[in-house]
């Protein structure tokens, strides 16, 4: 260590004073002790300064280093969609067909390795999911989408419990119905093996199976219908609604009402395994009856919202196997065409010739459930 001028001066003065009053050995020993103490103090000061410098340089390196972000998976699933299939069941009495489109999504914690590390060892290929749909359709007999959905969902969580915790199956039907024609003896009846595209609408199903610690998987079944196009030419109105500065719609005391009903409902647990075909048919009939009213007099509809609620209410009252129901009814407009410039006089104040439009259209939707107490 190199001492500065002040240090040298202090040491020299100390030695001079010591020479005047002490012997040489005593002077030398005291000088050594004084020098050791002074050196230790200087070393401590240098160490403290070096430590502060290290902290400062570390702080600068943190400021200049790129930020490291940790990203984790919040949820993940994989599967196959748009898997189409038509199954023919042949018996001597008749042939039956069911055509559907499937979407199967699988969830399982082990598959996270494919996202984090690119390790596919715990991932069932989506192509295998597609093949499973076809193979199980071949091996099993089923009469409804719900039945087949339960078969599919249960298969994945029971066949591969180590890598699959949950299977979610959506099914969409392409309906066919038998052509009704005279038979070889002249009697009119449904054909043995000829079909025509059925209407209105088509059935849907959504089945979820979760792996359970108690053995059999937990299963939730949801039925549904889509594409039910319905129309009323009278007894529909929309008046006395809220208005702001951008409202141009006039009161309409009588109008055409047209919509395309989409509805889904959750079955109660004790309904699973029953006759889903007849249950779906019953629910559709309730929806139609409530929308239309009695065949000869109909039923007034002050708003699509009111009719929608009454339809859901009727299903919950008449179908105890339904836990809750959601109905969506877009308001598809039919605008009257003014033909007065062609010399045509409108007989009805709201017109006889209309222009159907599908966009933009209103969207009305609600989910209904039984109340715990009477209102």
Give the E-state strand segments of the chain in sequence order: 78-90, 95-107, 166-174, 176-182, 188-197, 202-210, 218-232, 257-267, 322-331, 334-336, 354-356, 362-369
Set 126, 158, 233, 234: catalytic member: 126
Antiparallel, parallel or unpaired: β 218-232 and 334-336:
unpaired
Kindly name the residue from 80, 170, 232, 279 that is annotated as catalytic.
Answer: 80
Is 333 considered catalytic here?
yes
Phi/psi region, residue 84 (left: phi>0; alpha: psi -120 to 50; beta: rest), is: beta
Q: Which residues pair with 329 in a beta bridge?
A: 364
Residue 35 CA, chain-centre distance (Å), reads 80
- Phi, psi torsion values for 342, nearest 5 degrees: -100, 15
Active site residue 38: no
Angle separating helix axes 145-159 and 126-139, nearest 10 degrees: 120
191 is catalytic: no
Pick from 173, 171, 155: which is nearest to 206 by CA? 171
What residues have CB less than 8 Å from 352, skipping those under 6 apart?
A: 336, 346
Active site residues: 80, 126, 333
């Amino acid at each position: 260590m190199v001492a500065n001028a002040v240090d040298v001066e202090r040491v020299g003065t100390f030695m001079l004073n010591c020479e005047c009053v002490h012997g040489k050995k005593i002077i030398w020993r005291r000088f050594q002790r004084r020098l050791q103490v002074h050196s230790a103090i200087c070393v401590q000061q240098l160490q403290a300064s070096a430590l502060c410098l290290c902290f400062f340089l570390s702080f600068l390196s943190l400021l200049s280093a790129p930020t490291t972000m940790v990203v984790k998976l919040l949820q993940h699933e994989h599967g196959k969609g748009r898997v189409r299939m038509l199954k023919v069941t042949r018996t001597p009495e008749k042939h039956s067909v069911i055509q559907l489109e499937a979407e199967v999504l699988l969830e399982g914690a082990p598959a996270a390795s494919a996202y984090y590390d690119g390790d596919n060892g715990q991932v069932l290929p989506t192509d295998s999911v597609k093949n499973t749909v076809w193979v199980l359709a071949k091996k099993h007999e089923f009469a409804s989408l719900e039945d087949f959905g339960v078969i599919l969902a249960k298969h994945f969580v029971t066949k591969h419990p180590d890598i699959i915790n949950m299977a979610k199956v959506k099914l969409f039907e392409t309906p066919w119905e038998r052509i009704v024609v005279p038979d070889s003896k002249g009697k009119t009846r449904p054909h043995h093996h000829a079909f025509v595209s059925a209407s209105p609408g088509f059935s849907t199903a959504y089945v979820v199976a979760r792996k359970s610690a108690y053995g059999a998987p937990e299963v939730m079944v949801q039925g549904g219908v889509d594409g039910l196009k319905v129309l009323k030419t009278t007894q529909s109105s929309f008046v006395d609604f809220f208005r702001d500065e951008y409202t141009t719609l006039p009161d309409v005391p009588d109008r055409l009402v047209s919509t395309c009903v989409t509805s889904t409902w959750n079955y109660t647990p004790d309904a699973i395994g029953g006759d889903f075909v007849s249950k779906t048919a019953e629910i559709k009939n309730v929806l139609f009856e409530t929308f239309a009213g009695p065949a000869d007099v109909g039923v007034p509809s002050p708003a699509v919202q009111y009719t929608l609620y009454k339809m859901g209410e009727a299903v919950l009252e008449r179908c105890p196997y339904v836990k809750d129901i959601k109905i969506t009814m877009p308001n598809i407009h039919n605008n009257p065409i003014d033909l007065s410039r062609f010399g045509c006089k409108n007989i009805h104040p709201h017109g006889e010739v209309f222009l159907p439009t599908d966009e933009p259209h209103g969207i009305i939707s609600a989910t209904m459930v039984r109340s715990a107490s009477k209102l």
